[in-house]
Amino acid sequence: MATRFAIATLGCKVNQYDSAVIESRLRARGMERREFTEQADVYIVNTCTITDRADAESLRIARRARRLNPKARVVMTGCLAQASPDVLAKAAEVDAVIGLGRLDDLERAAASGAGERVMVTNLRKEKAPIELAAVTLDGHTRAFLKLQEGCDQFCTFCIVPFSRGASRSVEPRRVMAALDDLHARGFKEVVLTGVHLGGYGKDLEPPVELADLLEMIAERCPVERVRISSLDPEELSDRIVEIISRSGKFCRICICRCSPATTKRCRACGGVMRAIRLRRVGWRRFRS
């Protein structure tokens, strides 16, 4: 039975969130976290596959873990494990490849080595549930709450819809209950995060919009400050701008200033910059 674990995280804030959830689960089993440069019984690499360089770095870290302790288990998870499990399974230094949405399998593999060598689900067909857990990332005092996973955008060259699966959302009632719990635990700021926050709620029955959730938060959330991690500019709707500008609860959104010529070109490309809208509704709220 493993008692010491180490986690290396590559990629985005969502991966950092997932690693924090993994750490929380393993600590609950009584396991002790070590730095990745130290001796451990199991090394977990939370991979990224946004570029070829990220793929190579994931395997390099796995080899380093094997050198640190040849008897330890090396478990690969994250986006590369989900998108290209066969590539990782061929590596001699890798003991297990576990895709996204299989936290129970990952926990068992880390703690006892149980399970198959490759455990990956097709997340385009099977919508794995989201682990609704508030976590605090290293160096942060605010809590992070993931309320959306996956993406259905299929942008050119982007692998995220395949590595993260179909878009899926946490129901508003569960989000509000989680925010109430965070307030009770003393958190004064919460960051709402997800792979594609603009797609929040479209998969629910009945469908809801991100603006609906933000309106509930503005009216009922007891947490003092709520931060939206990221939104695509074209998804910053009039309604979202209105809700955020009226409420003193939401933290400022960073909007880059553009020259008139740049703004004109952006409008010609489909209006992705909301400069006119932001001047019309609550511009002062958005200005640093």
Cβ-count burial 87-123 (b if 16+ within 10 Å, e if not): bbeebebbbbbbbbbbbebbbbbbbeeebeebbbbeb
pLDDT score of 277 more than 80: no
On average, the pLDDT of the chain sits at 87
pLDDT of residue 267: 57
Alpha-carbon gap, residue 104 to 110, rounded angstroms: 10
pLDDT score of 180 more than 90: yes
List pLDDT tens digits, range 225-251.
999 988 888 888 899 999 998 998 998
Per-residue confidence band for 281, with pLDDT thresholds at 50, 70 and 90: very low
Is 134-253 in the same CATH topology as 4-119?
no
pLDDT score of 272 more than 60: no
Neighbour count for residue 162 (Cβ, 10 Å): 17
**Is the distance from CB of 279 to CB of 287 less than 8 angstroms?**
no
List pLDDT tens digits, range 58-90.
999 999 999 999 999 999 999 999 999 999 999
Spatial CB neighbours of 23, under 8 Å, sequence gap ≥ 6: 5, 7, 33
pLDDT of residue 114: 83
Per-residue confidence band for 265, with pLDDT thresholds at 50, 70 and 90: low
Phi, psi of 15 (to 5 degrees): -65, -40
Sequence letter at residue 63? R
Question: Can you read off the two tokens belonging to residue 138?
Answer: 């290293």
pLDDT of residue 142: 85
pLDDT of residue 137: 65
Higher pLDDT, residue 52 or 258: 52
Q: Is the dihedral of CA 209, 212, 213, 215 positive or negative?
A: positive
List pLDDT tens digits, range 149-162.
999 999 988 999 99
pLDDT of residue 253: 65
Fold for 134-253, please state it: Transcription Regulator spoIIAA (3.30.750)
pLDDT score of 212 more than 80: yes
Domain limits, the chain: 4-119, 134-253
4-119 classified as CATH 1.20.950.20: no
Spatial CB neighbours of 156, under 8 Å, sequence gap ≥ 6: none
pLDDT score of 95 more than 90: yes
CA dihedral 137, 117, 149, 163 (to 10 degrees): 110
pLDDT of residue 266: 55
List pLDDT tens digits, range 98-152.
999 999 999 999 998 888 999 999 998 887 778 776 677 665 678 889 999 999 9
Element housing 76 (H / E):
strand 73-78
Contacts 24+ apart (CB under 8 A), 99-104: 99/123, 100/18, 100/128, 100/163, 100/164, 100/165, 101/126, 101/128, 101/129, 101/165, 102/128, 103/21, 103/22, 103/25, 103/131
**Is the distance from CB of 38 to CB of 102 less than 8 angstroms?**
no
